Structure 1
Amino acid sequence: MTAIALPRKRVLADYVPAVVGVPAWVGARVRDLLLIAAGAGFIGLLSQWSVPLPGTPVPLSLGTFAVLLTGASLGGLRALLSVGTYLVAGGLGVNWFAGHKDGWGGPTFGYVIGFVIAATVVGWLAQRGGDRTVVRTAVTMVLGNLVIYAVGVSWLMNATGMDLQAGLTAGMTPFLIGDAIKIAAAAGLLPAAWSLVNRVEKR
């Protein structure tokens, strides 16, 4: 019996042309490296929009939004490498964490670790069509946010000695409305981008 290979759904990054003038496999790898670097830079840039909040060491920033968009756009492996680059570079001294911070550790570093896991999960889901419709995108982004909260709040509690209630109050509750707005924005942007891709492909 002949096995039938089911095609994996493409992510938005797969429609970026490979670098020309070199062998095809080299051009594709160069494109992937550029996308990985661009994703890390995009997260670093949006993370600088950061607002300190009273009663919590965790600032309000656009970093989460950038991470989830990057994950969905790049797919699982490239998202892992891109956000991993953001984490490693920031840990080594590039001050592109929220609030122009850098370095390993601190009460909010768990959120950065959560970024890596969440982007990978969101990218994996996007490869399976998780960013093609408004509803699917919203579900995908909610799952990504839950991963970030789970890792970030756990780290915050361990670093500060907070109990669960205090950890949730400081590390999750103040951000729920903002994250809901970000999820709504992503649920509009990503399906709209796919609609544009589909129109271009039909020409």
Structure 2
Amino acid sequence: MQNTLVHEIWPASRSSRMAQAFMIVAGTALLALSAKVQVPFWPVPMTMQTFVVLLIGITYGPRLGLATGLLYLLEGALGLPVFAKGAGLAYLMGPTGGYLFGFVVAMAVMGLLADRGWDKTRSGVLVAMVIGEVLIFLPGVVWLAAVVGSEKA
């Protein structure tokens, strides 16, 4: 059952496929823009992306969230300037790679939580957001430690 905000606005039907495609592309555009709003930090810049990832996850649901995350990674892997500082497969495999892959997991899991009604109360949203942050930072920190060494991560 799909109970997320996006599915309330555009219920699943054949005519809503275009709207869903628009939402996915709009989500990747929002992710790309939020990557450019950053606080300089090394080796991984701090950006507004985690907020946008959490927002997409809790509002899009698991399918649209997952599709948005995967399209975002594909855009970056193909060389589009959607990441904070770079593009291409080399950037995706660099220090920020774990966070980027964590984005996809967080969006999908938060969408599942929203489908189960966690987005209906403030406390549910808060707990879902914390879970989303853990799903972003856990693979991010592990990947970062593997790339730059645990003493620098």
CA offset at residue 97 of structure 1?
0.9
Q: 1:59 and 2:45 equivalent?
A: yes
SS at match of 2:131: helix
| Counterpart pick for 1:106 among 75, 94, 112 | 94
Contact 2:2 2:61 in 1 (8 A): no
CA offset at residue 136 of structure 1?
0.6
Contact 1:9 1:129 in 2 (8 A): no
Q: 1:28 and 2:21 equivalent?
A: no
The structure that has the greater radius of gyration is 1
2:118 match: 130
Q: 1:43 and 2:27 equivalent?
A: no
CA offset at residue 131 of structure 1?
1.4
Q: 1:157 and 2:150 equivalent?
A: no
2:127 match: 139
2:67 match: 81
CA offset at residue 9 of structure 1?
5.1
Unaligned runs of 5+ in 2: none
SS at match of 1:97: coil
Contact 1:118 1:148 in 2 (8 A): yes
| Counterpart pick for 1:16 among 9, 12, 20 | 9
* Percent identical residues: 37
1:120 match: 108
Deviations 1:135-157 (A, max 9, x none): 11010000000011111011101
**How do 1:186-201 and structure 2 match up within 5 A?**
none
SS at match of 2:120: coil
Instruction: Tell which has more relative contact order, 1 or 2 (C-alpha 8 A, sep 6+).
Output: 2
Contact 1:73 1:123 in 2 (8 A): yes
State the one-letter code of the partner of 1:106: G
CA offset at residue 40 of structure 1?
1.2
Q: Give the TM-score taking structure 1 as reference length.
A: 0.70
Number of residues of Structure 1 aligned to a counterpart in Structure 2: 150
State the one-letter code of the partner of 1:103: G
2 CA distance for matches of 1:75 and 1:120?
7
Contact 1:68 1:122 in 2 (8 A): yes
Q: Give the TM-score taking structure 2 as reference length.
A: 0.91
SS at match of 1:68: helix
Contact 1:63 1:98 in 2 (8 A): no
2 CA distance for matches of 1:25 and 1:78?
14
